[in-house]
Structures are given as structure tokens and as C-alpha cells.
Amino acid sequence: MKLFATIFMLFTLLFSADNNETKKHLKKQMEKEKKYSVEQKFYRADEYDFKGAEVDNKSLKKIPPQPDYNDDFDMDNVYD
């Protein structure tokens, strides 16, 4: 009878430890899922209004032309 009680206690401890590990793992996965849902909400951008950030083409004509610096940075003859 003592052997049966010892075996029963041993299995009870093993299954309860496994249950705790399962709960921990489930909680961890739920936290990951929350993070994923927030990221997906950001990437979908369904709720964002970008009309305030649009550029008016008429305002671009007011910007003075910038010099082209690509010709000044010629590295072709550096190692000759």
C-alpha cells in the first residue's frame, strides 16, 4: 500500500510539474501572440491617416535646384 501511495504521489508531482510547464509555455506564447498582433496592426496601417504627410507638388517648385556633387567625387584616377 505504501508503494502504491508513493507511486501515486510521484505521478501526481510529475503531472503537476508538467502542467506548470505547459502553463508557462502557453503564457509565453500568448505574450508573443500579443506582440505579433500589435506589429501586424502597425504593418497593415489600416487605422492611420497619412493625408497630412502628403507632399503638394506645387510646393516642390519653390525649392531651389541643388548642385550635383556626383561629378566632384570621381574616384577613377585615384590609384593610377
pLDDT at 20: 77
Residue with the bigger pLDDT between 58 and 70: it is 58
pLDDT digits (tens, 9 = 90+) for 28-49: 888 888 888 777 777 776 777 7
Q: Which of 7-11, 37-41, 52-56, 60-64 has the weakest average pLDDT?
A: 7-11
Residue 30 to residue 36: CA distance in whole angstroms: 10
User: Can you tell me which residue has the cell 508557462?
Assistant: 24
Q: Which residue has the higher pLDDT, 3 or 61?
A: 61
Share of the chain above pLDDT 70, in %: 74
Predicted TM-score (pTM) of this structure: 0.36
* Cell (9 digits) for 4: 502504491
Task: Let me know: does 41 contact 47? Beta carbons within 8 Å.
Answer: yes
Q: Residue 15 gets which letter from DSSP? A: H
